[in-house]
């Protein structure tokens, strides 16, 4: 059922039907009524492929995320969806599973869909070919969580945040502080957080541990429990994300340690679930929904001006340390 069917049913031209939808005030009230009724009755919905083809925009924003299995991104997407809806945009989320090939596939597909703009979390803004592709087409885009001087980004200063955290822990008497992360190569955030850790440790005059890199989430608990059982085990663990921190909590238990008495654990992200765990997860909380919202806002603004987004429009939102219960002064 296309616009034709509605037109025939009402006995009017297709132009009138189109107008009834797009410029209701240009059509006689009675005609409009009959058109709308027929449309409802037939279950007519304007075909957006045709619309997109004819207009030269789609009112759709593409969203590229690593995964939705990490609540950080699910929360962020929630914010994106909210703000997009509020501005009359639809979103099409795609997932890359932290793979470069996934990023390329997602971007290409979204380009084919003629999205009006794109919001993405990439692995490495510096080397991403996809971003070049977007620039070449002058398609407005914004990065979330990523930070890079050459691209418009919405993020928090995670390097600084991690540095502050080290200072705080040092202030609580911790000196044996280790850092746990996922695959470092898969995320510039982890790299920045690690830099923050290294710098923080240096500033505090402490010896940094080698990074504990746990590429696969399923083996992480046993791997960590083993680490925690070793000699000169750390008294505090900082994690590059909350999901990892939760596994550290478990690993500590498996290793016979009690948190926070025997081990302090701090995460990064501020996922909502962390607040309802026991112990409540200490974490550096990012405003995940707000990051999503602001990203959309920037894109919508750019779209309004018919412009692409300037890297100078980048936003650094503020993070917040959530004290939680997984964090305590070092035993003296």
Nearest approach in angstroms of CB 134 to DNA is 17
Selected from 9, 16, 18, 58, the binder of a copy of itself by CB under 8 A is 58
Q: Which is nearer to a copy of itself, 101 or 312 (CB)?
A: 101
Q: Which is nearer to DNA, 8 or 320 (CB)?
A: 8
What does the per-residue mask of binding to a copy of itself show for 245-264, with x meaning CB under 8 A?
A: -xx-xx--x-----------
What does the per-residue mask of binding to a copy of itself show for 116-135, with x meaning CB under 8 A?
A: -----------------x--
Contact positions vs DNA (CB under 7 A): 2-4, 12-16, 18-19, 21-23, 25-29, 31-32, 44-47, 50-51, 53-56
* Backbone CA torsion sign across 170, 173, 177, 180: negative
CA dihedral 120→127→311→198, nearest 10 degrees, is 90
Nearest approach in angstroms of CB 309 to DNA is 23
Selected from 45, 230, 312, 331, the binder of a copy of itself by CB under 8 A is 45
Residue 221's binding partner out of DNA, a copy of itself, none, with CB under 5 to 8 Å set by partner kind: a copy of itself
Angle at 61 between CA 52 and CA 273, to 5 degrees: 150
Give the pairing of strands 90-95 and 117-120: unpaired
Residues 6 or more apart in contact with residue 63 via CB below 8 angstroms = 77, 80, 91, 92, 93, 94, 118, 119, 120
Residue 2's binding partner out of DNA, a copy of itself, none, with CB under 5 to 8 Å set by partner kind: DNA
CA–chain centroid gap for 241, Å, is: 13
Write the DSSP assignment of 33-95 as a string of letters. HHHHHHHHHHT----HHHHHHHSS--SEEEEEES-SSSHHHHHHHHHHHHHHHHTT-EEEEEE
Residue 167's binding partner out of DNA, a copy of itself, none, with CB under 5 to 8 Å set by partner kind: none
CA–chain centroid gap for 327, Å, is: 26
Alpha helices, DSSP H, located in 87-157: 100-112, 129-136
Nearest approach in angstroms of CB 68 to a copy of itself is 5
Interface residues with a copy of itself (CB under 8 A) are 43, 45-50, 52-53, 58, 68-69, 71, 74-75, 77-78, 81, 90, 92-93, 95, 108-109, 111-114, 133, 136-137, 221, 243, 246-247, 249-250, 253, 272-273, 276-278
């Amino acid at each position: 059922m296309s616009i034709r069917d509605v037109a025939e049913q009402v006995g009017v031209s297709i132009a009138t039907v189109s107008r009834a939808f797009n410029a209701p005030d240009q059509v006689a009230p009675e005609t409009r009524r009959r058109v709308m009724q027929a449309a409802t009755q037939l279950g007519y919905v304007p075909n957006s492929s045709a619309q997109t083809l004819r207009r030269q925009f789609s009112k759709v924003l593409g969203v590229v995320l690593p995964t939705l299995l990490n609540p950080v991104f699910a929360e962020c997407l929630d914010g994106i969806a909210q703000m997009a809806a509020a501005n009359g945009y639809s979103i099409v989320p795609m997932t890359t599973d932290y793979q470069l090939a996934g990023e390329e596939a997602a971007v290409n597909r979204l380009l084919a869909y003629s999205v009006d703009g794109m919001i993405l979390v990439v692995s490495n803004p510096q080397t991403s070919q996809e971003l070049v592709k977007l620039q070449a087409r002058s398609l407005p885009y914004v990065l979330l969580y990523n930070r890079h001087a050459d691209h418009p980004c919405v993020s928090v200063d995670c390097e600084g945040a991690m540095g502050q955290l080290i200072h705080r822990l040092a202030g609580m008497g911790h000196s044996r502080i280790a850092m746990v992360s996922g695959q470092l190569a898969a995320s510039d955030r982890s790299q920045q957080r690690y830099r923050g850790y290294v710098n923080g440790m240096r500033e505090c005059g402490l010896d940094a541990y080698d990074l504990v890199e746990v590429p696969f989430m399923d083996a992480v608990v046993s791997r960590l429990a083993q680490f925690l059982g070793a000699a000169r085990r750390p008294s505090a663990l900082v994690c590059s994300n909350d999901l990892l921190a939760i596994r550290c909590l478990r690993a500590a238990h498996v290793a016979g340690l009690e948190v926070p008495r025997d081990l302090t654990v701090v995460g990064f992200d501020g996922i909502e679930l962390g607040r309802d765990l026991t112990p409540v997860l200490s974490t550096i909380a990012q405003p995940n929904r707000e990051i999503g919202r602001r990203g959309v806002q920037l894109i919508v603004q750019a779209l309004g001006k018919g412009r692409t987004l300037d890297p100078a429009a980048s936003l650094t939102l503020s993070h917040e340390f959530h004290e939680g219960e997984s964090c305590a002064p070092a035993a003296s």
